[in-house]
Amino acid sequence: MGEGRKGRRPGNPDTQGQILEAASREFASRGYDSATIRGVATAAGVDPALVLHYFGTKEQLFVATLHVPVNPAAIVRGILDDTEPGQMGERLIATMLGVWDATAHRNPLIAVLRSVAGEGPVADTVRQFIERSIIAAFAERLPGPEPQLRAVLIGSQVAGLLLARYVVRLEPLASADPRRLAAIYGPTIQRYAYGQLPPVDPQEASSGVHSP
Amino acid sequence: MGEGRKGRRPGNPDTQGQILEAASREFASRGYDSATIRGVATAAGVDPALVLHYFGTKEQLFVATLHVPVNPAAIVRGILDDTEPGQMGERLIATMLGVWDATAHRNPLIAVLRSVAGEGPVADTVRQFIERSIIAAFAERLPGPEPQLRAVLIGSQVAGLLLARYVVRLEPLASADPRRLAAIYGPTIQRYAYGQLPPVDPQEASSGVHSP
C-alpha cells in the first residue's frame, strides 16, 4: 500500500491529501473496525503523530475520507450532552439541516449514499462507521430502555429527511424553512428517544420474521 | 432505439423482456413524464396494445423496469382508499414491510437507491416517478391542508425505515418484528398525514433559506 515510500516526511501541502488517500485504501481493505491510525501512517509513509495532528482520531479521519462537511457523531454527542431533553429533537434537526443546507450545492450526501448502496467492502465500512460511531453516540446517551433500537429509529427519520430534501429533492420539503422542519420533525425524534415504545408481542417475539 | 426491427410481432416468451429493455431505454432517454407507451412499443417493435396487455399502465411498466416486487403507488392508493384514517399509518408500515421482507434476500431496494443517488437521466426519471406517482397518490387522498408537504413527510419516514432495515441493515431494526415496527412508526405517519403541522413563521416564510 505504501507505494514504496519508506522515509518519514514532515508535513507539506499535499501530506494531508496523501494521508487521506492512504486512509481511504486502508478503510476499504480492512473495514472501519480493523483499520488503525498506525496502519494509515505506514501506508502514507508518515509518522502516526502527524496523522493524529491533522485528523485527531480514527473517527475524524474516516469522516474526512467521506468528504462530508461535519462529523455527524460529533454533532450527536454535542447535542445530547448540551441540550435539555425536551429540546433535543428540534435542536438535532435544526443543526443537521443547518450543516447540510450550507453544503447542498455540492451535495456530499450523494457520494455517501452511493457508498452505502454498494455491495463491496466500502459499503461494509460505511455501515460499521454508522453503527459504531453515529448510532453508538445516541445509544450511549439515551436514558430509557432499548437505547440501541431508539437510536436506530432516530437515525431512520433523520436519514429519510436528508434523502428526501437533498438527494431526491422532493418539494415542498426541499425548499421548506429549516426551522419549520425542526418543529415538524422534533416531536418524532422526541418520541423515538424518550417516549414509550409499544411492547414486543410475546407471541411474536421469537418468530424471527425478517432475516436479512 | 428499435434495433432495426420493423414488424409487429405477437407475444412470445421473450417479448416481455424486449418490451422491458425498450422501456428502460425510453424512460432513461425521455424521462418518466415524456415517455409513452406508444414510444416504448415502437422501440420494442410491438403493438402498443401488447405493451398494455402485459403491463397495464405506464406507471406499472416503469415499476417493472425497476425490478421491485410491487408498485408502491398502488399500495398507497389501496391503503388510503380502503382503510379507516385512524388505522392508516400502522397499516401502511405493516404492508410495506410485508412486501419488502418477502424480497429482502435479493434486495431490489439497493438498485433503486443507486439509481436515485446517480446524477444522470435515470436519477431524474426515478425522481419524477416518485413525485408523480407515489407522492401524488398520497397527496390526492389526504384531507388536511398542505397535502403535498404531508405526503413528502410520510415518504421521508418510510424511505428512512426502508434504508435502515434493508440497505444499511442496522440492528435491532433489521430483525425487529414487523408488527412491532408498524406500532412504533404508525403514530408518526398518522401525525404527518392528519395531525396539526406547526405554522410557517411569517418572519421566515419568505427568506428562502434553502436553495438546492
Measured in angstroms, the CA of A176 and the nearest CA of chain B are apart by 7
pLDDT of residue B14: 86
- The span from the CA of B198 to the CA of A183, in Å, is 6
Contact between B210 and A183 using a beta-carbon 8 Å cutoff: no
- For A106, half-sphere exposure in the C-beta direction (CA atoms, 13 angstrom radius) is 7
Please give the average per-residue pLDDT across B5-22, as a whole number: 72
pLDDT of residue A5: 45
Any idea what DSSP says for residue A46? S
Please give the model's pTM, rounded to 2 decimal places: 0.82
φ, ψ dihedrals at B86, nearest 5°: -65, -20
The residue type at A23: A
Q: Which of B167, B169, B172 sits opposite A117 (nearest CB)?
A: B167
φ, ψ dihedrals at A135, nearest 5°: -65, -40
Measured in angstroms, the CA of A155 and the nearest CA of chain B are apart by 8
Cell numbers of A89, please? 429533537
Per-residue pLDDT of chain A (212 residues), as tens digits, is: 444 444 444 556 689 999 999 998 998 888 888 899 999 999 999 999 999 999 999 999 998 888 887 888 999 999 999 999 999 999 999 999 998 898 877 677 777 887 787 777 778 888 888 988 999 999 999 998 999 999 999 999 999 999 999 988 999 999 999 999 999 999 999 999 999 999 886 554 444 444 44
Question: B132-162 burial, b if ≥16 CB within 10 A, otherwise e?
Answer: bbbbbbbbebbeeeebbbbbbbbbbbbbbbb
Please give the average per-residue pLDDT across B103-120, as a whole number: 76
Q: Which of B135, B179, B201 sits opposite A179 (nearest CB)?
A: B201
φ, ψ dihedrals at A24, nearest 5°: -60, -45
Residues of A in contact with B208 (CB under 8 A): 175
Contact between A161 and B163 using a beta-carbon 8 Å cutoff: no
- The span from the CA of B111 to the CA of B24, in Å, is 14
Q: Which of A117, A170, A173 sits opposite B114 (nearest CB)?
A: A117
Measured in angstroms, the CA of A141 and the nearest CA of chain B are apart by 17
Mean pLDDT lowest among A158-162, B113-117, B134-138: B113-117
Q: Which of A191, A192, A212 sits opposite B174 (nearest CB)?
A: A212
pLDDT of residue B211: 41
- The span from the CA of B59 to the CA of B132, in Å, is 9
pLDDT of residue B203: 55
DSSP 3-state of B114: helix
Arithmetic mean of pLDDT over chain B:
86
The number of C-beta contacts closer than 8 angstroms across A and B is: 175
Please give the average per-residue pLDDT across B64-81, as a whole number: 89
Please give the average per-residue pLDDT across B183-191, as a whole number: 98
Confidence band for B94, pLDDT divided at 50, 70 and 90: very high
